[in-house]
Structure 1
Amino acid sequence: MMARKRMGGILLGGWLLIGGLTGCSNTSEHDIAAVTDNAPPEQSLSLALADEVPTLDSAKATDELAFTLLTQTNEGLVRLDEAGKVVPGVAREWTISEDGLRYQFVLRENALWSDGSPVTAHDFEYAWKRALQKDTGSQYAFLMEWIKGGAEYRHEQAPLDSVSVKARDERTLDVELAAPKPYFLEQLSFPVFFPQQKSFGEKAGDRYGGDPGTVLANGPFKLAEWLHDQSLGLVKNDTYWDRGQVRLEQVTYQIVKDATAREDLYLAGVIDRTALVRDQIARYRGNPEYMEIDELVNGYLQFNQKHRVLQNAKIRKALTYAVNGDAYAEVVYQNGTRGATGLVPTGTSNGQGGDFRKDGGDLIDRMENGKQAKALLEAGLRELGLAKFPKLKVLGDDGDTGKKSTQFLQEEWRTKLGIEIEVENVPFKLRLQRTAERDFDIVESLWGADYNDPMTYLDMWVTGSDFNESGYSNVRYDALIGQAKVEADAARRMQLLLDAERLLLDDMAVGPLFFRSSAVLQKPYVKKVIHRHFGPRYDLKYAYVEGK
């Protein structure tokens, strides 16, 4: 079977036997036996990844694959429990000043790295300041700008010592924010806020987080194997402070890009869980092993404004309105995903017990605006003095879903606008790299919430933001986001964000396509896989196998 060829292992009794574990400096002989034994322990899961994980450096990770793996192998000051509530992680307790600006975290004494060394407050200070440093190349460092002095240091207006994250001693970390953030504690569960051990990272150098032996764990599991583009293996981390709550002994991941191949592996009992797309949904809806999961994830088009034709707002609107979002969702996903009605997805909190999307309404209105897409394109071309649309490409992933997506876009633009846009599908890691380097004309991107607040979708588009890969810039938009970041009144803050989203889509700086849901098959013996609506896709800390 073609799918088995790409796995890089030998299937024995429904189990993947994998070798090549040499060079894992943090893996014991016991760990190696656990992963390579063709009779896996009773508490083991076999899962699939749709693509290679680009990096396990928590400062550099930008995608949900990495975030999901990092959440299994590492832990921050806090963690989210089974209900998604903030609970102590490496920090056993904390205090917050009355004005909401100053936090003091006291770390637990039994928090250890997988090599047995203690996790200290210095590891957090080092990791956060490393993310802020320009030469690290952390796209998520913008979250650190909420710390007092973080923005000034990152924009080279102040020294590193001015950043208000300080290890008072081995077990005490002081943090001061530039302005109150009601969701700051929740956000500390996000990977960019995880600790890193300076000596280990410096020894690994540029390879840190990219190869076996360059990943140090302090979470429920640790990395035992990483065969690039083939598989990853995790084993229970016996130095984790809360290891008594961790029941799984082993988790193996196979990297399988083709959705049909993943389905075949699931039906054969080789993997215990798989995501479903398109026609697979109809086959399994109603099956007791089928489940749909709501997500705070949007999909959108980025238009590289280095290209003259894409600097025109009418043309950006035409390219967006021409795509039927609901039809796109049905053709590409068929899993509860819906056409986008704005940039911020349905389900995002408005901070007052309501839904931001309901407050903002439908800012796309494709039923009406789709009728004027062709006229908008022609008007935009006239404004630019162009007789015809130039040759452009749309960039997407080379997996099954990515190819289907770009083909659908290409056909919508051909039939509704009369233009031919070429399709370019590349590996996921390369797509991320090229997007960050602005090496694209149009690219299909996805964004999952880092925390449940509309700001996670909106502050990306301020001038110069690391994730503003289209090059959009609007002084008024920057001002609205800046005001919202320091506004203490919840209602006024939300109105600023509503105004910002409306302005963004009046400019059509990006072209919203869909709000994603996911559908999975999961074996009935797999228990307590905790699904997350933001950040990582799931958490395996509480998972176990029963009745297999």
Structure 2
Amino acid sequence: MKNKKWLGFIFLTIFALVLSGCNFNSPDTDKGSEKEKEGTKEGDTAATVEQVLKLSASAEIPTMDSTKAHDGVAFNVLNNTNEGLYRQDENNESILALAEKHDVSEDEVVHTFTLRDTKWSNGDPVTAADFEYAWKRVMREAGAYNYMLATAGIKNAEAIMNEEMDADELGIKATGDLTLEVTLESPNPLFVTLLAFPTFLPQNQEFVEGLGDQYALEAENVLANGPFKLVSWTHEQGWVLEKNEDYWDADNVKLDKVEVIVVKEPSTGANLYETGKIDRTLLTSALVQQYADNEDFQIEKESDIIFLRFNHNHPILGNPEIRRAINMAIDRDGLTDIILQDGSTPLYGLVAGGYYFSPDQKDYREINGDINKGSIEEAKTLWENTLAEIGEKEVTVSINIADSEAHKKVAEYLQAQLEDNLPGFKLEIKAVPFAQRLEIEKAITYDISLSSWGPDYSDPMTYLDMWVTGGSANRMDYDNPKLNNLVSQAYSETDLSKRFEMLLEIEKILLVEDAAIAPLYQTGSAILKRGNIKDLVKHPSGAEFSYKWAYIEE
């Protein structure tokens, strides 16, 4: 992310990424009001039961500092204990939150926010200066998601990242206690949606600087201004959130408490669920059969994808027809239905299905359809013909995978499929620790790599801009100037219909023209979830959960 060559792409790249079910209505329309009125009616029936939600998390919270957080666990807690100008609703649209009014200049460059009269959990008022301080601190300390401010198009953010300007020159200033002015480099249709991301949260300067390097490392060393407060945090074991009675919309928060236990093994999670210690848990494929008939068993579709990267410098894999044959030779239905059994679904495209829609509400995946889907016979014929053209009879390559149980199962399945369906093909499996797999990818010292990608934001660009030349997520030396140009055009296109057509075409260049990667499946989650848990909102990108509207039904 800090590579200056990549910064030009990353700022516009992620510019489209956050679109997450984007709200393209007027920015000063508060969509939350209608939803909240509906929730109040449901909450009346829930008042007679104990409103305590018991959940699990896969890991410890690394930090509660929103300027430094860069992982899903932290984002989830921050999203529920803090609030920015906007937040995601149940449709993953950005709705006005701490801002009660949002005015935009005629040229759409200057955005003025009027804040609600709210306070931090220590009694201090939340002010516009808290936003100015926090956003400039992100840039000053080069936080993990500092590029997000450039992505949002905030004036001077990219220059600050390039060390050409000082963080104090960021285009944000408090013009009053409750008035915040943000200046953009140019109009940005995604700006509103980006503001729901945790990096844009405010911070209380006196509190932060008073604690120094101890800030955000313990429950007593953080402040809340959102629906809940972090009241206890036992490291590596769990944490507890309680309803924040001082939250501006506390009347629409039904839960009194959220208790979270760190659970690293799925079997442990299942045991905790059976004993009533948690209300929701993930299951691995090994546990699916055991619980498939349980009334609480559910399958949830996810937005993450699993795919094969190819080293485009490889003498054989550098051939697009070889890659296309490998792609077509894999029975994805067998992989998802027999090997995984966790709700994952076959994928014949780069962009996940069911989350990303055109301005007229058509699913991206359905529009572009299944790409490079063919029969085993077609794959075999293409393979043999291409080998003959390049003068080869046998091919031996290796696949780089993480040494997890899931990756090993997938790799063994791919090995059997490719060696059975492509004459002369030999696949060697090289399992390494997850972190090492990433380093091997970054160095492009692999033949094929089993990779995953989870969207930062709910927009097709989160999958598509990965492949620009020299991009940090490319990791296979793929290079197509036509794709680069189209990605660049899509970043600045404000006509949403034209932009969506560009996004469709980018995937076709990558997969139809170049067969650059081999998509395998869109992930799913097999879970146990109690039936009386209502309105627990799960987001496909950004923070995973919003507890604000959840309640326990009697």
TM range (shorter): 0.7 to 0.9
1:278 aligns with 2:294: no
Q: Is the 8 A contact 1:338 1:516 kept in 2?
A: yes
Which one of 260, 266, 271 corresponds to residue 253 of structure 1? 260
Which one of 339, 356, 362 corresponds to residue 370 of structure 2? 362
Distance 1:325 1:217 in 2: 45
1:46 aligns with 2:54: yes
Deviation at 1:439, TM superposition (A): 9.0
Q: Deviations over 1:39-82 (max 9, x none)?
A: xx933222122344554443444444333232222222112334
**Range moving further from structure 2, 259-268 or 59-68:** 59-68
Provide the aligned C-alpha RMSD in A: 3.9
Is the alpha carbon distance of 1:279 and 1:152 closer, same or farther for their aligned partners in structure 2, counting shifts above 3 Å? same
**Range moving further from structure 2, 286-295 or 370-379:** 370-379
Q: Is the 8 A contact 2:332 2:521 kept in 1?
A: yes
Give 2:21's aligned residue.
none
Letter in 1 for 2:104: I
Give 1:300's aligned residue.
307
Which one of 473, 479, 486 corresponds to residue 485 of structure 2? 479
Letter in 2 for 1:483: Q
Letter in 2 for 1:234: L
Larger relative contact order (Cα-Cα within 8 Å, sequence gap ≥ 6): 2
Give 2:25's aligned residue.
none
Which one of 237, 242, 253 corresponds to residue 235 of structure 1? 242
1:420 aligns with 2:423: no
Q: Is the 8 A contact 1:103 1:174 kept in 2?
A: yes
Q: Is the 8 A contact 1:212 1:225 kept in 2?
A: yes
Give 2:506's aligned residue.
500
Task: Report the TM-score, using the length of structure 1 for normalisation.
Answer: 0.77
Distance 2:212 2:382 in 1: 50
Which one of 74, 79, 85 corresponds to residue 82 of structure 2? 74
Is the alpha carbon distance of 1:520 and 1:391 closer, same or farther for their aligned partners in structure 2, counting shifts above 3 Å? closer
Give 2:23's aligned residue.
none
Is the alpha carbon distance of 1:81 and 1:478 closer, same or farther for their aligned partners in structure 2, counting shifts above 3 Å? same
Distance 1:474 1:161 in 2: 38
Deviation at 1:454, TM superposition (A): 1.6
Is the alpha carbon distance of 1:145 and 1:182 closer, same or farther for their aligned partners in structure 2, counting shifts above 3 Å? closer
1:457 aligns with 2:463: yes
Deviation at 1:189, TM superposition (A): 1.6
Which one of 526, 529, 538 corresponds to residue 533 of structure 2? 526
Distance 1:151 1:520 in 2: 42
Instruction: Give the alignment of 1:171-190 within 5 angstroms.
Output: 171-190=178-197
Distance 2:215 2:322 in 1: 42
Distance 1:298 1:407 in 2: 19
Q: Is the 8 A contact 2:147 2:158 kept in 1?
A: no
Q: Is the 8 A contact 1:60 1:140 kept in 2?
A: no
Give 1:144's aligned residue.
151
Runs of 4 or more, structure 1, over 6 Å off, are 304-312
Q: Is the 8 A contact 1:296 1:345 kept in 2?
A: yes
Deviation at 1:314, TM superposition (A): 6.0
5+ residue gaps in structure 1?
1-40
Distance 2:287 2:350 in 1: 28
Does the residue aligned with 1:92 lie in a helix, a strand or coil? strand
Distance 2:176 2:484 in 1: 38
Distance 2:138 2:132 in 1: 10
Give 2:229's aligned residue.
222
Letter in 1 for 2:363: D
Give 1:334's aligned residue.
341
Instruction: Give the alignment of 1:24-103 within 5 angstroms.
Output: 42-82=50-90, 84-103=92-111
Does the residue aligned with 1:445 lie in a helix, a strand or coil? strand
Distance 2:385 2:401 in 1: 20
Q: Is the 8 A contact 1:332 1:401 kept in 2?
A: no
Alignment length (residue pairs): 498
Distance 1:190 1:73 in 2: 13
Q: Is the 8 A contact 2:156 2:165 kept in 1?
A: yes
Does the residue aligned with 1:136 lie in a helix, a strand or coil? coil
Is the alpha carbon distance of 1:445 and 1:227 closer, same or farther for their aligned partners in structure 2, counting shifts above 3 Å? farther
Give 1:13's aligned residue.
none
Deviation at 1:480, TM superposition (A): 0.8
Instruction: Give the alignment of 1:432-443 within 5 angstroms.
Output: 441=446, 442-443=449-450
Distance 1:484 1:493 in 2: 5
Task: Report the TM-score, using the length of structure 2 for normalisation.
Answer: 0.76
Which one of 531, 534, 545 corresponds to residue 538 of structure 1? 545
Distance 2:245 2:88 in 1: 21
Instruction: Give the alignment of 1:110-149 within 5 angstroms.
Output: 110=118, 112-132=119-139, 135-138=142-145, 141=148, 144-149=151-156
Q: Deviations over 1:322-341 (max 9, x none)?
A: 54333332245424321112
5+ residue gaps in structure 2?
1-48
Deviation at 1:540, TM superposition (A): 0.9
